[in-house]
C-alpha cells in the first residue's frame, strides 16, 4: 500500500472540522477522519458535512463500535464514510456484522486493538474476522493515567513491528506519537500515518493546535509520501 497520511479531526464542531480539513487537504493529507469527539458531538451530520465538502476524499468514521455493528456502519456509510472502526474487544458477532455491512455497502472496515491484553493477538483476531485494516492503538486515558503515576508512558511503537509481522492487512499506529515518530511508522511496515491529538490538535481542548499547522502538515506529507509503497 502507498504510504498515506490521515488526519484525525478530534474537534467538537462541524465548522472547526471543515476548517481543519480544508487546511489539511491543501497541505497534501490523503484521508480525513471524523474523530470520536466529532461523532459524539455531531453524529452522522459531521460525516455528511465532510462528504459534501470533500466529495472525492476517503473519510474514516471513528465509531469505536462495540455493539449494533451493522446499524452503526450503515448509518455512517449512508452519510458518506468510506471506512468505519470496530473494536477488537467487541463480541465476535459484532465484528462479523460490521464486516458484513462493509461488504454489503462497499465500505472498508478498520479494526482497533485498543485495550487488548495481548495487542498482537488482538490485531490478528481482527484480520481473521475480516477487517480490511488494523489500528494498533494505545489509548488517551491509558497513556495519561500511567504517566500520572510516574511510570513510562506506553507507545504503539513498543509492539508495532510484532503487530505488522502478525498481519497481512495494512496497519496504522495511533496514540501519543511525536511528529517524528508518526512520520517514521512506514519504516516499521505501517503505511497509514495518522496525525491528530496531540500532533495537530490540542489534546486538552479538542481544538485545532496553534502555530503554523499547515506548513508542518505539508512537510509531514512530503516525508511520508516519499516512502512510496510500504
Give the model confidence (pLDDT) of 12-60 as tens digits. 999 999 999 999 999 999 999 999 999 999 999 999 999 999 999 999 9
Average confidence (pLDDT) over 59-74:
98
Coil/strand/helix, residue 89:
coil
Q: Name the percent of the chain in helix, strand, coil, to the closest 5.
A: 45, 20, 35
C-beta neighbour count of 82 within 10 angstroms? 18
In which element (H, E) is residue 223 found? helix 213-225
pLDDT for res 166:
98
pLDDT tens per residue, range 112-151: 999 999 999 999 999 999 999 999 999 999 999 999 999 9
Question: If you ran DSSP here, which 8-state letter would residue 88 be given?
Answer: T
Across the chain, mean pLDDT equals 94
Task: Kindly report the CATH number that applies to the domain delimited by 4-225.
Answer: 3.20.20.70
Output 64-69 pairs: Cβ under 8 A, ≥24 positions apart.
64/36, 64/112, 64/114, 65/90, 65/94, 65/98, 66/90, 66/94, 67/91, 67/94, 68/94, 69/93, 69/94, 69/95, 69/96, 69/97, 69/98, 69/101
- Closest to 82 measured CA to CA, from 31, 126, 42: 31
Cα–Cα separations (whole angstroms), residue 154 to 69, 140, 169, 174: 29, 11, 24, 11
pTM of the model: 0.93
Alpha carbons 105 and 67: distance in angstroms, whole number = 18
Q: Give the tens place of pLDDT for each residue, 191-205.
A: 999 998 545 665 566
Contact 223, 4 (CB under 8 A): no
Cα atoms in the Cβ-side hemisphere of radius 13 Å centred on 35: 28
pLDDT of residue 216: 80
Q: Where are the domains of the chain?
A: 4-225
Report the C-alpha gap between 30 and 83 in whole angstroms: 13
C-alpha cell at 73: 456502519
Residues 211-217: what's their mean pLDDT? 80
Amino acid at each position: 500500500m502507498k504510504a498515506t497520511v490521515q488526519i484525525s479531526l478530534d474537534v467538537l464542531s462541524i465548522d472547526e472540522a471543515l476548517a481543519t480539513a480544508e487546511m489539511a487537504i491543501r497541505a497534501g493529507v490523503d484521508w480525513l477522519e471524523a474523530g470520536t469527539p466529532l461523532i459524539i458531538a455531531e453524529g452522522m451530520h459531521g460525516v455528511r458535512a465532510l462528504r459534501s465538502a470533500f466529495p472525492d476524499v476517503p473519510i474514516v468514521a471513528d465509531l469505536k463500535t462495540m455493539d449494533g455493528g451493522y446499524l452503526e456502519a450503515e448509518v455512517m456509510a449512508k452519510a458518506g464514510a468510506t471506512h468505519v472502526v470496530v473494536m477488537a474487544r467487541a463480541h465476535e458477532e459484532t465484528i462479523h456484522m460490521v464486516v458484513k455491512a462493509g461488504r454489503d455497502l462497499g465500505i472498508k472496515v478498520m479494526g482497533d486493538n485498543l485495550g487488548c491484553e495481548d495487542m498482537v493477538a488482538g490485531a490478528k483476531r481482527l484480520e481473521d474476522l475480516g477487517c480490511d485494516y488494523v489500528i494498533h492503538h494505545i489509548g488517551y486515558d491509558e497513556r495519561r493515567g500511567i504517566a500520572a503515576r510516574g511510570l513510562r508512558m506506553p507507545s504503539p511503537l513498543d509492539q508495532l513491528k510484532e503487530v505488522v509481522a502478525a498481519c497481512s492487512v495494512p496497519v496504522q499506529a495511533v496514540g501519543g506519537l511525536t511528529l517524528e515518530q508518526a512520520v517514521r511508522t512506514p519504516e516499521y511496515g505501517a503505511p497509514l500515518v495518522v496525525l491528530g491529538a496531540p500532533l495537530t490538535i490540542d489534546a486538552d481542548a479538542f481544538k485545532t493546535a496553534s502555530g503554523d499547522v499547515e506548513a508542518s502538515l505539508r512537510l509531514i506529507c512530503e516525508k511520508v509520501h516519499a516512502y512510496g509503497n510500504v
